[in-house]
Amino acid sequence: MSLQSLSIGVSGLRSHQTRLDTVSNNIANSSTTAFKRQRAAFSEELGQAILGVGRTAGGSNINPSKVGRGVSVASIDRNFSQGSLNDTGIKTDLALNGDGFFVASPKSGAASDQRRLTRAGNFTFNQNGELVTANGLNVQGWEVGEDGTANTGELKNVQFDPNAQSAAKATTEAEVGGNLSADAEVGDTSEISSVVYDEQGKAHNVVINFENTSEDTWNYTVKDPDGVLQDENAGGGTNEDGVANGTIKFNDDGSVDTVGVNEAGNFNPDGGPNDGVSIDWQSDAVQGGKSLGISLRDITQFSGSTTSKFQGQNGNSSGELSGVQFTPEGKLQLNYTNGVQEEEYQLAIGDVNNPNGLEQQGDNFFTTTGASGDLQLGRAGRDLQTSVVSGALESSNVDLAKEFSDLIKAQRSYQASSQIITTADEVLNQTVQLKR
């Protein structure tokens, strides 16, 4: 029994040493970005049978009796609960609010060519505009098309051109909204204007004059002070007199009934009822016979003030890159000095069925194993209930108060195991003395 006690004591020392190492590692990494605390789970060693299941002469059952042989470490589990998010003010610092991992390229020269997974989003852009981890691995995602949708095929390195420019774009559509007062009298007028752009990005003014002609009816005249639109008043007048005109009639509920066009063409981009007026650009301003379509369908006629205005137009001047940022969906957005925003890439978010089955690689990285399940890729905010927070980092989920408590418990258990060995040694000495 004494020799067995020695073995049990040694197993306790060994197991509680592992627990001390685990707790110490948690404490040491309490400030490590996105670190997930670990715990050592123990299991009892298979005991030595003393009495087996049987029956007495009187027919009663005998309970099985075994003496345990000590303790061993069953597993080292990792707690993947969400850590708190700390603002850093650095746009390339990214945190995941929810499940999943950022996906990085395989490590050069590593034995495994598996992609690395990490929750630590302390990224930077290198000299080539590539988004990389603190260790220099490329962060990966998908290219985003012109419609803003990610092409979820082959993963590519997230990057942008540091010398990117936004090309000039001619205005082909403009929208007018707001209100024309139902209290206006015949002859009352209102005038609005907007900047539009030609093919080289030069700004030009377009003016629309509204005049009340009768109940629920307004005439409009489109004027072109800069002379860049086709003059439809053949045989007389100038562009300032109007390059197009027509009539807007309203329903009793204040919505537009019809938009009539007396000069130029109809504008109905959606193939429905006429939305407004279409005017051709002069060939020296915009080549290819392009037109400027002005939608008037969003105007209302309610009692009160006249608040009609241009709500927007789709042209722009050329612009230089002014900055980059990440959206909550993990899309890399480029901002230009002309106000244009372009989405280039969307970060891929990886997930597995069993995160505890991931293999730790160091440097805040993990790789998949047979126990974790296959890597599943998705998009934040769409395929996964996860969002990307820019300008923040996830903190370690280590609770120092709990870790220090566990440290004391592990120390006491270690001391108790050493006491088992001391006691067993004393018993052995007493046994030896019996022979003398």
CA dist list (Å): 151 to 145, 157, 344? 7, 13, 11
Query: What is the reported pLDDT for 112?
Result: 62
Query: What is the reported pLDDT for 240?
Result: 55
Read off φ and ψ for residue 237, nearest 5 degrees: 85, 170
Task: Tell the residue number behind the tokens 């007028």, with chain if given.
Answer: 189
Residue 407 banded pLDDT, cuts 50, 70, 90: very high
Does the pLDDT of residue 144 top 60, yes or no?
A: yes
Beta carbons of 132 and 126 less than 8 angstroms apart: yes
* pLDDT: which is higher, 303 or 267: 303
Three-state SS sequence of the chain: CHHHHHHHHHHHHHHHHHHHHHHHHHHHCCCCCCCCCEEEEEEECCCEEEECCEECCCCCEECCEEECCCEEEEEEEECCCCCCEEECCCCCEEEEECCCEEEECCCCCCCCCCCEEECCCECEECCCCEEECCCCCEEEEEEECCCCCECCCCCEECECCCCCEECCECCCEEEEECECCCCCCCCCEEEEEEEEECCCCCEEEEEEEEEEEECCEEEEEEECCCCCECCCCCCCCCHHHCCEEEEEEECCCCCEEEEEECCCEEECCCCCCCCEEEEEECCCCCCCCCEEEEECCCCECCCCCCCCEEEEECCECCEEEEEEEECCCCEEEEEECCCCEEEEEEECEEECCCHHHCEEEECCEEECCCCCCCCEEECECCCECCEEEECEEECCCCCHHHHHHHHHHHHHHHHHHHHHHHHHHHHHHHHHHCCC
Model pTM greater than 0.85? no
Output the six-digit token pair for 384: 């996964």
**Strand 203-214 versus strand 349-351 pairing type:** unpaired
Q: Of 308, 344, 305, nearest to 324 (Cα)?
A: 344
Does the pLDDT of residue 6 top 90, yes or no?
A: no
The pLDDT tens digits for 150-168 are 999 899 999 999 999 999 9
CA distance 313 to 134: 42
CA distance 168 to 200: 6
Does the pLDDT of residue 53 top 70, yes or no?
A: no
The pLDDT tens digits for 234-270 are 433 345 568 999 999 999 999 999 999 987 788 887 7
The pLDDT tens digits for 178-229 are 999 999 999 999 999 999 999 999 999 999 999 999 999 999 999 999 999 9
Does the pLDDT of residue 39 top 90, yes or no?
A: yes
Q: Of 401, 379, 286, 337, nearest to 164 (Cα)?
A: 337
CA dist list (Å): 41 to 9, 226, 325, 359? 18, 79, 43, 17
Q: Of 247, 283, 272, nearest to 262 (Cα)?
A: 247
Does the pLDDT of residue 325 top 50, yes or no?
A: yes
Neighbours of 378 (CB within 10 A): 17
Query: What is the reported pLDDT for 236?
Result: 38
Query: What is the reported pLDDT for 49?
Result: 61
CA distance 403 to 423: 30
Query: What is the reported pLDDT for 120?
Result: 96
CA distance 362 to 7: 34
Query: What is the reported pLDDT for 264?
Result: 76
**Strand 101-104 versus strand 116-118 pairing type:** antiparallel
Q: How many CA atoms lie within 13 A of 228 on its CB side?
A: 23
Q: Which residues pair with 212 in a beta bridge?
A: 218
Q: Which residues pair with 177 in a beta bridge?
A: 309
The pLDDT tens digits for 66-118 are 777 889 999 999 999 999 999 999 999 999 999 999 999 987 655 567 899 99
